[in-house]
A and B are shown apart, each in its own frame.
Chain A
Amino acid sequence: MEFDTIAAISTPMGEGAIAIVRLSGDEAFQIADRVFKGIGGKQLQSVPSHTIHYGHIVDPAKDETIEEVMVSVMKGPKTFTREDVVEINCHGGIVSVNHVLQLLLRQGARMAEPGEFTKRAFLNGRIDLSQAEAVMDLIRAKTDRAMNVAMNQMQGRLSKLVQSLRQEILEILAQVEVNIDYPEYDDVEEMTLKMMMEKSQYVRSEIEKLLRTSEQGKILREGLSTVIIGRPNVGKSSLLNSLVQENKAIVTDIPGTTRDVIEEYVNVRGVPLRLVDTAGIRETEDIVERIGVERSRKVLKEADLILLVLNHGEELSDEDRRLFEAVSGMDVIVIVNKTDLDRAIDLDEVQQLADRHKLVTTSLLKEEGVDELEEAIASLFFDGSVELGDGTYVSNSRHIALLHQALQSIEEAIQSAEMGTPVDMVQIDLRRTWEILGEMIGDTVQESLIDQLFSQFCLGK
C-alpha cells in the first residue's frame, strides 16, 4: 500500500487550458504504456529520461481514443518524488482529464491520497529534516479531512449497498472456507462451481448497476442533459434565451463530442442543466420533422429532462400529440407558452396527455411563469423524481476506480469458474472482490470472514 504506483490530477480543478495527470511509482511507465499510443508504437518504458512525447490516450478495453496528449517521462531518482514519474498533459476540459485518470486507475494505479506526492518526496529523502514536522502535520490534517469527506460520501445508502454486496460475497466465501477447513462435515452443502458462478454473476450485475449510477453522479458534475422540443413557433428559442439570460450560461465547445452539437450550461436554482442540441433549435424551428431523424431520437433518448413546449394560442395538433408519444416514459415538464394570446388549446386534453408530468403555463414574452417553471425544474430534481438510479450514486473517483477493479476481479472469478478451475482458486478472485469493496467503505478486516464462518455453520469436534 505504501509503495505502489499512485496517480492524481495535479493541476487545480477548473477551466485551465492544460491539466496534468501525474503518476509516480515503480510501475508508472508500465501503467502509462498500457493507455498511451505514441507515434510508431513508441514505448515510454524505453524512451530516455526527462523527455516529452506526443501521442494519444486510448482506452484499451474499447480501443477508443480519449485524449490527445503530451507525456513527460522522468526516471527516478531525479524527480520530485525520487520515483519514476510520468506526467500526462491533457488539454481537454475537466471531463476528459477525469477520464484519463480513471483509465490509469483501472490499469493498476492507486488514487493518491492528499499530500501523498509530497510525502513520498520526503520518504525518499527529497525533503530535508526541517520540513519533516510540517509534512507530518500535513499528512494528519489532510488524511483526516479526506477521510471525513470519504466517510460523508459513504454514509447512507451507497455504504449500505456496498455492505450488503460484501455480505453476499462473504457468505459464499464462508461456505467455501468451511468446505476447505471442514471437508468431512456433511452439514454444510458443498459450494459448487455452478453455485459460485451464479452468485458471482449476481454480484457482477450489482457492481455494474453501481457503476451505472456513477453515470448518474456524472450528471451532477456535468449537468442534467435537457432537451427543449415543440412545434415551430411555440417559443422554444425564447425559453432557451430566458433560461440562459436569467442564469448566465456558460457556453462551451466540448471537444471530443460531435462538433455540431453545441451545449449550454445553466444553473437553475442549484440544478445544473446542460441544454443539448440547442444549436438545432436555433438553426431550424422544424424540430418535429427532425424527430423522425435518427440522431434526434438519440438525443431524446439520452436526455435526462425534456421541456415540451405548446402554444396556448393554437389548438393541439397531431404533431403535438406525436411529441407526447415520443417522450412517453421520460421526465418531462409540459410548458403551455404564450398565455398572452387568447386560449385556443384544450387544456383538459393537455392535462390528460401530460398525465403525471408537471404542467406549467408561461408567457415568455411577458416574462410570466418563468419562476414557476424554474421551481418545477428544481422540485423535480430535488424531490428525486428525476431518475438518479434509486437516489444512490457513486461520484468519487476513488470509488469509481475501486468499482472498476471489483468488476474486473469478479469477471475473472466468473471466467475461472467457467473454465472449471477449482473452487478454492475461484475463491481468490472472489475474495479480492470482497476486499476491494471493503476498501470503498474502509473495512478490510480479515476477522469478519472467520466470524461469518462460525456464526453461519455448526462446526467442531
Chain B
Amino acid sequence: MVKKFEAGNYDVIVIGAGHAGVEAGLAAARMGAKTLMLTINLDMVAFMPCNPSVGGPAKGIVVREIDALGGQMGKTIDQTHIQMRMLNTGKGPAVRALRAQADKVLYQQMMKETIENEPNMTLLQGMVEELIIEDEECHGVVTNTGATFRAKTTIITAGTFLRGEVIIGDLKYSSGPNNQQPSIGLADHLRGLGFDIVRFKTGTPPRVNSHTIDYSKTEIQPGDETPRAFSYETTNYITDQLPCWLTYTNETTHTIIDENLHRSAMYSGMIKGTGPRYCPSIEDKVVRFNDKPRHQIFLEPEGRNTKEVYVQGLSTSLPEDVQQQILATIPGLENAQMMRSGYAIEYDAVVPTQLWPTLETKKIRNLYTAGQINGTSGYEEAAGQGIMAGINAARRAFGQDEVILSRSDAYIGVLIDDLVTKGTNEPYRLLTSRAEYRLLLRHDNADLRLTDIGYEIGLIKEDRYKKFNEKKALIDLEINRLKTVMIKPNEHVQALLEAAGSSALKDGIRGTDLLRRPEITYNLIKQIIPSETALPEDVEEQVEIQIKYEGYIEKSLQQVDKLKKMENKKIPDGIDYQAITGLASEARQKLQEVRPLSIAQASRISGVNPADISILLVYIEQGRIAKVAGE
C-alpha cells in the first residue's frame, strides 16, 4: 500500500490530456480556475492514436463551434496541418465542412506547449487510481504514487484507457491505445462507485513506410488551393501542403480476408465489445458488403517529419501476417513495409444517460466525464464535450450557473443531448443527419451562434468580441441595403444577367429578390450595386447565405420556436416519477433514469409517448398550483 500524501489544492482537476481533456483544462484555466491536468504519459498530450485528421462533415463544424466558444482545437490544427480541404462545396451551405490532415507530431507538440504556457494551468504526469468521494461528492483524486490532489470539481477524460485491451488476431493484451499503460485502478474504482459501465470496441489500420509505397499506382488527392482555417482568429495560413493518395482493395484482397476470417478477433468471438457501424473493420466490410468488388483506401501522411502513412479504410483486428498479405494485394502497397500493425481496442465506457446535460454525473456531485469515456468516438466529439465539461466544472467551482447548449444552438448541443437523453449502444459519431436544425448549424455561422456565449463566460476576449460585433453590424447593414435598393433593368444589368444564365428583368427588382435566384451570386449583385466600402469575404458569404436561403432558414426558425417553448417548460428538480399516477411503466422507468430537465428533453426519450408528456405537464402544473396555493 503506497502512502498517500497531500499534493495540492485546485479549483478543477482534469484526468487525462487527450482531446477532451485538453479543451476541458484550457477552458477552465482560461476562465480563471486554478486547474490541474493529470496524464499517464506527458509525451502523449493531444495524441491522435487513429486517423491523423481533424474535421469533416458535422465534425468540422464542431471544431468551428469550439473555436467560437474560445476553445483551442481549431487554432492548433490551423498551425499544424499538412493539408486542408473544404468538403461538400457542390452542395448547400449547411453541409459544407472543413477537414484538415494533421501533422500529428507537431499537433501534439503545439498543444502541449499551449497548455504549458497557460497561466492558471498545472500539467503533471500521474495515473489516477481513485477519486476522493464524501457524501456522494467528489473532492479530488489520488494517484498510484499516493499523491492526493484536492479540487472543487473533477473531470474524467480517460478516453479508451479504462481497462483497455488491444487485440490483434488471437493476440490479446491489457493496454491503452498505441501500447500505452491502461488505466485499471480507476476503471475498477468507477465500477465500485456503482456506475453503469459498457464495453465498447474500436480499431485502427496499419501504418506503412512512405518510402515503400509506389505512388504511381495511386490517385493523388491534393488539398484546396484556397487557403482555409478553422479558427476565426487565424490570420497566417499554411500554403505548403502535402497530398493524400487514393487506391483500392480488390478481389484478391477479399479472398485473403475471407480465408482468414476465422483468425479475425471480430469473428472468432474474442471481441465482446460493441463496435461502431460507421467505422467497420475491413473484414466487416468484406463480409457485410460481399457484392462490392473493391473498397476505397486513402493513404494519409502522418506528418512532415515522419515516413509513417496511415492506411485509411483498412482498420482491422486480423493477425499481423494476414495484415501483411492484405497490404501486398493493394496497388501501390505491393512492397509496402508495415511499420505498425492495425489493432482493435476494447475499453470501458460510462453509460451516458447517467450524466446531466452539463456532463456532471448524477450519482456523484462535482464529478464530470467527457469524451470517449462517454461512449463517443472521434477527436472532435471528445473536444466538444471537453470544452463544455470544462466550462461547467469551472462555473460550478465559482458557484455560477450551468451552461447548456441547445440542439438548435450547436452540433455540440445535439451531441450531448443525444448522449444524456438517449444514450448510445455503439461508439457515437456525429452525423449531420442527427441534427434536426442542420440548416441553422452551419460551418459559416458558428461564430454568430456561439461567440456571445463564449464572451459571457469569459473565454472570448474583448478585442475578438469587438471584431465579431463589427462583423455582425456589417452583415445586418448589407442585408438591409439589399432589401431596400432597387435594381433597374438597364443594358448593363441585362447583359450581366444574361452572362450569368439568368432571365432578363422586366421591372425593377429588389437586391434581395434578385439574389434569391439560384443562378445569381452575391458577386454578381456586387457588380450591379456595389456597396460603399469593400466588404470582407466572410461578411459577403454570410449575406449571400442568409438571403438566398431565407425561406428555409425561416422554416427552421419556426420549428426552433416550438422547441424553445418546450425547453422553457422546466421539470422541477427531484420529481418523483413513481408518484405520478397515469404514467406508463416504461415511461416512468425511463424518466426516472434520465431525469430530464425540460419537457423538450423528456419528449425525446425513447419510450416516453405523448400521453406521458401530457400527464407530466399536468403533474408539473398541479405542483405549481399547489405551491402557489400553499404560499
Contact = CB atoms under 8 A, between A and B. Distances in A.
Contacts of B2: none
Interface string A428-449: 1000000000000000011001
A460 B285 contact: yes
A458 B205 CA distance: 17
B618 A421 contact: no
Interface string B126-143: 000000000000000000
B289 A458 contact: yes
A371 to B, nearest CB: 48
B184 interface: no
Given A425-B552, A460-B280, A139 B618 contact: yes
Contacts of B485: none
A445 B436 CA distance: 12
Contacts, number: 144
A39 interface: no
B295 A458 contact: yes
A422 B625 contact: no
Given A422-B92, A425-B549, A460-B315, A128 B625 contact: yes
B436 to A, nearest CB: 8
Interface in B162-205: 205
A86 to B, nearest CB: 20
B464 interface: no
B151 interface: no
Contacts of A186: 296
B622 to A, nearest CB: 4
B431 A423 contact: no
Nearest to B311: A461
Contact of B94 (A1, A135, A144, A424): A424
A199 B112 CA distance: 52
A4 B432 CA distance: 27
Contacts of B438: 424, 428
A454 interface: yes
A13 interface: no
A202 interface: no
Among the interface residues B278, B549, B625, B629, which one has the most CB atoms of the partner chain A within 10 A? Answer: B278
B622 A132 contact: yes
A3 B566 contact: yes
A453 interface: yes
A449 B434 CA distance: 9
Nearest to B566: A2
A139 B582 contact: yes
Interface residues of B, number: 63
Given A180-B88, A422-B91, A3 B292 contact: no
A48 B487 CA distance: 41
A419 B289 CA distance: 36
A119 B614 contact: yes
B582 A450 contact: no
A197 B289 CA distance: 28
Given A1-B562, A446-B434, A139 B615 contact: yes
Given A180-B91, A450-B431, A139 B614 contact: yes
Interface string A363-374: 000000000000
B337 interface: no
Interface in B370-429: none
Given A4-B562, A180-B57, A424-B94, A143 B614 contact: yes
Given A123-B621, A420-B518, A422-B91, A181 B431 contact: yes
A290 interface: no
Contact of A183 (B87, B284, B436, B552): B87
A185 interface: yes
A194 B581 CA distance: 53
A460 B91 contact: no
B278 A425 contact: no
Contacts of B147: none
Contacts of A122: 618, 621
B431 A461 contact: no
17 contacts: A1-B566, A2-B613, A3-B566, A132-B625, A139-B614, A179-B91, A182-B57, A183-B88, A186-B296, A419-B518, A425-B94, A428-B438, A428-B552, A446-B434, A446-B436, A450-B433, A461-B51
Given A4-B562, A453-B278, 11 more contacts: A2-B599, A129-B622, A144-B611, A177-B433, A180-B57, A181-B432, A419-B518, A428-B439, A458-B292, A461-B51, A461-B279
